[in-house]
Amino acid sequence: MGMEHSDNKSDAKIDIAQAEDAYVDPQAERRVVWKMDLHLVPILWVMWTFSNLDRSNIGNAYAGGMKESLGMSSTDYSVALLVFFIGYVVFEIPSNMVLVRLRPSLYLPAIMFWWGAMAIALAGCKSTAALAGVRAILGLAESGFAPGVLYLLSTWYKKKELARRYTLFWLGTPVSGMVGGILAGAIIERMDGLGRLHGWQWLFVIEGVATCIVAVVAVFILPDYPTTTRWLSDAEKELVVRRLSAENLNTTGDHAGHIASLRLAFADWRTYLFLFLYAMATGAMTITYFIPTLVKGLGYTGSQTQYMTAPIYGVGIVTVLCVCFTSDWFGERGFYVIGAGLVGAVCFAIIMGVTSRVVQYVFLCFGLASIFSSVPTLLVWASNEISHPREKRAIVQAAMNVAGNLASVYGAFLWPADDAPRYLTGWGCTLAFVFTMAVVAFVARSLFRKHPYPEA
């Protein structure tokens, strides 16, 4: 269990040289991978789902009465989104540098409990200034989770296995959007006025309390590293280390040092390509904070606005599943990012060119699905391409999240109320983001093939 951290030094001293010469039983390997999946993927998926609920439910709250209660303008709403990302980018890289030296089973649940408390505090905001302040702290609290999870998974799984697991974890994003819309519709409609609280306030309270409960449970479930967990036998630990050492995905070993690792990460030209690609993908993904508003602009009203967001995310879930399994099957990342960018560009161009609300809604589903599929694929691509040393990998993963959330800063202002109902600025910028991502991904893939990453 998460709290069962072994202090027995022999647990971490796996004889890798001897293990590499041993025969690997395919059935034993399948059993240990299945055991890893059961202990890692479900709990991380639940935690990530609540992370997305707590950051994105502001869109449901805004469309469900918060705008009127706090007297918010569209600019006030954009500022509330903006400050979240400012707080988010501050701590991502330092958080992953700290995580390398701490126990994930305690560190990740701790920051989850922190952001759950901040999510509850949103219900008590009486002004737009207070809302912005709490959102900034919420962003700071959540900042270390996503890069921390990607780093943790990369210490357990081989490169070809990582996309499936990380993408299953990342499915919490569209799932939270789909479930969040349904929950928001029910809570805002049925609990409005209960206990002298508005429905949108109950939305923050209920989802924030649930987050805190999950954080406490996660402490007892989430493991640390392969060589320091008690639910693996010594033979299974040797097997895991052997699998990963064959691909230079070290799970233990000497640290290069914070400064040296930073230099390694930012002296590598690959890092900058991934930073730019991820900035394009997440800049486009800022649209998720405006889905309830956009759906409302298509003619839906009341709780129906919340419920009609669910199918949009449902299409995204199916698409992400298809991409993650086939990309692992073929061992390919770059072409999937290129394809996602081109499909998204076509969808958003159609939305801009037609006036039929039904057609716009349908292509919104597929356009958003293309963005959803590109984000986890890019993160896994970076982890596969820049695989060692471990702290360099962790810094690059965190830096990508920083770049992505910096892109979300200006993305928060792309959908002003004055542009309703066509929102041509927002659609046009989103189209530009995904098309640019496709072009740069093509260039990056060609460069990576010509200049492969050096062996450790």
Cα gap 112→211, rounded to integer Å: 7
> Which of residues 50 and 256 earns the better pLDDT score?
50
Q: Tokens at residue 44, please?
A: 């991380």
For the chain, counts of helices (H) and of strands (E): 20, 0
Indicate the pLDDT class of residue 367, thresholds 50, 70 and 90. very high
- How confident is the model at residue 253, as a pLDDT? 42
411-426: per-residue pLDDT in tens?
777 888 788 778 899 9
Q: Tokens at residue 406, please?
A: 């910096």
pLDDT at 409 over 60: yes
Indicate the pLDDT class of residue 371, thresholds 50, 70 and 90. very high
Cα gap 20→36, rounded to integer Å: 20
Percent of the chain surpassing pLDDT 90? 39
- How confident is the model at residue 349, as a pLDDT? 97
pLDDT at 441 over 70: yes
C-alpha 330, offset from chain centre? 23
Alpha helix locations (H) across 101-127? 104-121
pLDDT at 158 over 60: yes
Q: Where are the domains of the chain?
A: 9-249+256-450
* CA 139 to each of CA 55, 135, 273, 405, 421: distance values in angstroms, whole numbers, following the listed order: 8, 6, 25, 10, 30
- How confident is the model at residue 256, as a pLDDT? 57
- How confident is the model at residue 1, as a pLDDT? 47
Q: Apex CA 237: angle with CA 236 and CA 239, to 5°?
A: 60
Task: State pTM to two decimals.
Answer: 0.73
- How confident is the model at residue 416, as a pLDDT? 82
Amino acid at 453: Y
- How confident is the model at residue 22, as a pLDDT? 45
User: Cβ–Cβ contacts within 10 Å for residue 257, how many?
Assistant: 11
pLDDT at 448 over 90: yes
- How confident is the model at residue 247, as a pLDDT? 60
Q: Apex CA 373: angle with CA 151 and CA 153, to 5°?
A: 15
- How confident is the model at residue 306, as a pLDDT? 72
Contacts of 301 (CB under 8 A, 6+ apart): none
Peptide bond into 389 cis (omega under 30): yes
Q: Tokens at residue 177, please?
A: 């959007």
The residue among 441, 385, 399, 449 whose CA lies nearest residue 147 is: 399
- How confident is the model at residue 6, as a pLDDT? 40
The residue among 391, 387, 393 whose CA lies nearest residue 456 is: 387
Residue 253 CB-half CA count within 13 A: 15
Instruction: Please state the rounded mean pLDDT for residues 270-287.
Output: 92
pLDDT at 140 over 60: yes
- How confident is the model at residue 20, as a pLDDT? 45
- How confident is the model at residue 128, as a pLDDT? 93
298-333: per-residue pLDDT in tens?
777 767 777 888 889 899 989 988 887 888 788 889
- How confident is the model at residue 125, as a pLDDT? 94
- How confident is the model at residue 23, as a pLDDT? 52
pLDDT at 4 over 70: no
- How confident is the model at residue 123, as a pLDDT? 94
- How confident is the model at residue 171, as a pLDDT? 82
17-42: per-residue pLDDT in tens?
444 444 567 888 889 999 999 999 99
pLDDT at 379 over 80: yes
Indicate the pLDDT class of residue 455, thresholds 50, 70 and 90. low
Cα gap 165→400, rounded to integer Å: 19
Indicate the pLDDT class of residue 14, thresholds 50, 70 and 90. very low
Indicate the pLDDT class of residue 163, thresholds 50, 70 and 90. low
- How confident is the model at residue 21, as a pLDDT? 45
* CA 28 to each of CA 108, 153, 179, 378: distance values in angstroms, whole numbers, following the listed order: 30, 20, 37, 31
pLDDT at 456 over 60: no
Identify whether the C-beta of residue 374 lies closer than 8 Å to the C-beta of residue 337: yes
Q: Average pLDDT of the chain? A: 84
- How confident is the model at residue 135, as a pLDDT? 94
pLDDT at 180 over 80: yes
C-alpha 127, offset from chain centre? 29
pLDDT at 255 over 60: no
Instruction: Please state the rounded mean pLDDT for residues 337-357.
Output: 95
C-alpha 195, offset from chain centre? 34
Instruction: Please state the rounded mean pLDDT for residues 104-130.
Output: 95
Pick the CATH number of 9-249+256-450 from 3.40.50.2000, 1.20.1250.20, 3.30.70.240, 1.10.150.120: 1.20.1250.20
Percent of the chain surpassing pLDDT 70? 90
Contacts of 112 (CB under 8 A, 6+ apart): 47, 50, 51, 145, 211, 214, 215, 218
Q: What is the DSSP letter of 6?
A: -
pLDDT at 99 over 90: no
**Residue labelled with tokens 């805004």:** 62
* CA 145 to each of CA 85, 161, 358, 360: distance values in angstroms, whole numbers, following the listed order: 14, 21, 37, 34
